[in-house]
Amino acid sequence: MEFQFQFDWQAAIQSIPFLLKGIPYTLLISFGGLAIGFLLGIIFGLLSINKRWFLRWPATAYIEVFRGTPILVQVLFIFYGLPDLVGGPIDPLTAGIAAIALNSGAYISEVVRGGVQSIDKGQTEAGLSLGLSRTQTFWSIVWPQAFRRMIPPLGNQAIVSIKDTSLFSVIGVGELVRQGQVYIANTFTAFEVYFVVAIMYLMITLSLSLILRLVERRGLTSV
Amino acid sequence: MSQIVKMQGMNKYFGKLHVLKDINLTVEAGEVVVIIGASGSGKSTLIRCVNGLEPFESGKLEVDGHPLAPKGGNQKSLAEIRKEVGMVFQQFNLFPHLTVKKNIMLAPMKVKNTPQVVANGTAERLLQRVGIADQANKYPSHLSGGQQQRVAIARALAMEPRLMLFDEPTSALDPEMIGEVLDVMRELAKEGMTMMVVTHEMGFAREVADRVIYIHEGQIVEEGKPEDVFDNPQNERTQSFLSRVLKH
Ligand SMILES: Nc1ncnc2c1ncn2[C@@H]1O[C@H](COP(=O)(O)OP(=O)(O)O)[C@@H](O)[C@H]1O
Ligand SMILES: [Mg+2]
């Protein structure tokens, strides 16, 4: 008996239009979540290096909790658990964006902390000695330099978060993987469809890598 | 003559380490005071106290009429003091993300709200003065060490300080670049700038200083005109320090 598997190009190509409908959701959840996550990362990252313990501790707690638990559990908690708390349903899209925001926010906090701490103390001293306030010194001297160093790890986090959205098929957001599952339920062409899904993720993440590399190269010329 | 710096019975600790011990020191307007001493004796800490980069534990400090309280006390005058005191660091500490000219324009624009055109003019004039007008639009990393340190001096001067602090400004430089930085400092002294200079350049100290102070383990153990301190040191610590550094 001979088992032969044939990759059905026809089936793969036919699935593309349906799968493409998932991409706006994947992108919206990824980049919507990352945008909020970036703000959270700046806020909690800076709080986590504050001298005052009552600012530092809550920030550290947030970071540890969201880095120390799986994002799948986080999104299930938000989607199925939180409605009990807030007394109303949360739609899957909001839950997905919130999960990416909170999760990436924790990692980005660490990126921000590392970036800021990597800037030589002499920079702050020079700013202060020129008469700039602590706030002015931070935002016009330390932050621009720290941000430049943060670009590669931020890009890394963006790629991780984009891939994380694939888990949100479990709460029924019509993102890429969910579209694939729905399509396969009717056509039984799992191999071809997941192959196409994988290529689509790869195209998104590769474009991002490319953009980041260009940004980085431009950033380097001025430092 | 007015006193720009007045320290009375100042003490400074790093944890248990008593770094400055009962410092009494005044610097008159227009005076150039050079501070010498072995590594770790407290020279940097002393001048960093003047602009509040280091807080101190006890004693009195007044900078250009503004009293600065010990740690925990009223620090309101600190902002005013820092506007009036410029500092030049051993490692230059230029802002690598800004061009040379922007390095110089930043503080006047942020701190004094100087209009950009005015700050720009000041920066160009100062770069001329330190001899690197042609480097204005480069980034600091493209300059030699000596040029970078001259930019750092220009940057401090842009705030029109009443006092300039120098913490070993030539120690990180290749030997052939030390001269160009000392020349700028010599000019500055000639023009009447009040200066406190930590340096190992004994030739410069002898020539430019109005007064030389020798610090040993956080204490001022000798103080006087350069010729007196260098040629006829009274304290045996000063004698042994000088015999070590002047030998080569
Ligand atoms: N931030 C700091 N924390 C703890 N100890 C310090 C710190 N800065 C300097 N010291 C110590 O204080 C003493 C004086 O240092 P410093 O003023 O830098 O000496 P100098 O400039 O004469 O070499 C040294 O023993 C040094 O190790
Ligand atoms: Mg020192």
Over residues B139-194, the pLDDT tens digits come to: 999 999 999 999 999 999 999 999 999 999 999 999 999 999 999 999 999 999 99
Query: Are residues B20 and B43 in contact, defined by beta-carbon separation less than 8 angstroms?
Result: no
Q: Is A223 on the interface with B (CB under 8 A)?
A: yes
Read off the pLDDT of each residue in A105-115 and give the average, rounded to a whole number: 98
String of b and e for B89-111 (b: at least 16 CB within 10 Å)?
A: bbbbbbbbbbbbbbbbbbbbbbb
- Of A135-139, A164-168, B206-210, B240-244, where does mean pLDDT reach its minimum? B240-244
Split at pLDDT 50, 70, 90, the class of A220 is low
Rounded Cα distance, A177 and A185, in Å: 12
Ligand 1 center to residue A91 CA distance, Å? 59
Q: By alpha-carbon position, which residue is closest to atom 1 of ligand 1?
A: B14
Q: What residues in B contact A120, CB-CB < 8 Å?
A: 91, 93
Residue type at B240? S
Read off the pLDDT of each residue in A43-51 and give the average, rounded to a whole number: 97
* Interface-testing mutation among A118, A129, A141, A149, with chain B (most B C-beta atoms within 10 A): A129
Chain-chain contact of B53 with A223 (C-beta, under 8 angstroms): no
The residues, any chain, with a CB within 8 Å of residue B172's CB and separated by 6 or more, are B90, B91, B92, B145
Residue type at B179? G
Q: Is A123 on the interface with B (CB under 8 A)?
A: yes
Q: By alpha-carbon position, which residue is closest to atom 21 of ligand 1?
A: B44
Rounded Cα distance, A209 and A155, in Å: 7
Read off the pLDDT of each residue in B19-43 and give the average, rounded to a whole number: 97
Query: Are residues B228 and B219 in contact, defined by beta-carbon separation less than 8 angstroms?
Result: no
Q: What residues in A contact B97, CB-CB < 8 Å?
A: 144-145, 148, 222-223
In this model, does residue A189 exceed pLDDT 60?
yes
Q: At what angle do helices A53-68 and A92-117 cross, to 10 degrees?
A: 120
Query: Exposure of A107 by Cβ count < 10 A (0-12 exposed, 13-18 middle, 19+ buried)?
Result: buried
Ligand 1 center to residue A162 CA distance, Å? 48
Q: By alpha-carbon position, which residue is closest to atom 18 of ligand 1?
A: B44
Q: Is A128 on the interface with B (CB under 8 A)?
A: yes
Residue type at A199? I
Shortest distance between the Cα of A130 and any Cα of chain B, in A, equals: 6
- CA nearest B202: which of B210, B212, B194? B212
- At A52, give phi and psi (nearest 5°): -80, 125
- Of A160-164, A218-222, B103-107, B129-133, where does mean pLDDT reach its minimum? A218-222
Of A122, A128, A140, the CB nearest to B91: A122
- CA nearest B85: which of B194, B171, B221? B194
Chain-chain contact of A122 with B83 (C-beta, under 8 angstroms): no
Instruction: Please measure the distance between the N-terminal and C-terminal CA atoms of chain B and give it in whole angstroms.
Output: 38
Place of tokens 């479990």: A170
Split at pLDDT 50, 70, 90, the class of A215 is confident
Split at pLDDT 50, 70, 90, the class of A219 is low
Of B85, B89, B111, the CB nearest to A126: B89
* pLDDT for the residue numbered B1: 57
Of B53, B96, B139, the CB nearest to A125: B53
Q: By alpha-carbon position, which residue is closest to atom 16 of ligand 1?
A: B42
Q: Which two tokens stand for residue B37?
A: 């001493």
* Interface-testing mutation among B71, B84, B93, with chain A (most A C-beta atoms within 10 A): B93
Of A125, A131, A223, the CB nearest to B96: A223
Look over chain A and give the mean of its residue pLDDT values, rounded to a whole number: 94
Split at pLDDT 50, 70, 90, the class of B78 is very high
Split at pLDDT 50, 70, 90, the class of A221 is very low
Pick the residue with more confidence: A219 or B105?
A: B105
**Alpha carbon of residue A89 to chain centroid:** 24
- Of A67-71, A118-122, B105-109, B236-240, where does mean pLDDT reach its minimum? B236-240
Say what percent of chain A tops pLDDT 90.
Answer: 87
Q: What residues in A contact B149, CB-CB < 8 Å?
A: none
Chain-chain contact of A130 with B155 (C-beta, under 8 angstroms): yes
Read off the pLDDT of each residue in A207-215 and give the average, rounded to a whole number: 92
Ligand nearest to the Cα of B89, by number? 2
Chain-chain contact of B79 with A131 (C-beta, under 8 angstroms): yes
Shortest distance between the Cα of B87 and any Cα of chain A, in A, equals: 6
Shortest distance between the Cα of A141 and any Cα of chain B, in A, equals: 7
In this model, does residue B248 exceed pLDDT 80?
no
In this model, does residue A142 exceed pLDDT 70?
yes
Split at pLDDT 50, 70, 90, the class of A7 is confident
CA angle A82, A86, A89 (to 5 degrees): 70
Which atom of ligand 1 has the smallest separation from the CA of B45? 17
Rounded Cα distance, A154 and A108, in Å: 7
* pLDDT for the residue numbered A5: 75
Q: Which two tokens stand for residue A106?
A: 């924790």
What is the strand order of the sheet B194-198 is part of? Answer: B85-88, B163-167, B194-198, B32-37, B211-216, B219-224
> How far from A215 is each of A34, A103, A161, A162, CA to CA, in Å?
18, 25, 20, 19
Look over chain B and give the mean of its residue pLDDT values, rounded to a whole number: 96
Rounded Cα distance, A80 and B232, in Å: 85
The residues, any chain, with a CB within 8 Å of residue A32's CB and separated by 6 or more, are A97, A100, A101
Read off the pLDDT of each residue in B235-241 and give the average, rounded to a whole number: 93
In this model, does residue A3 exceed pLDDT 80?
no
pTM of the entire predicted model? 0.91
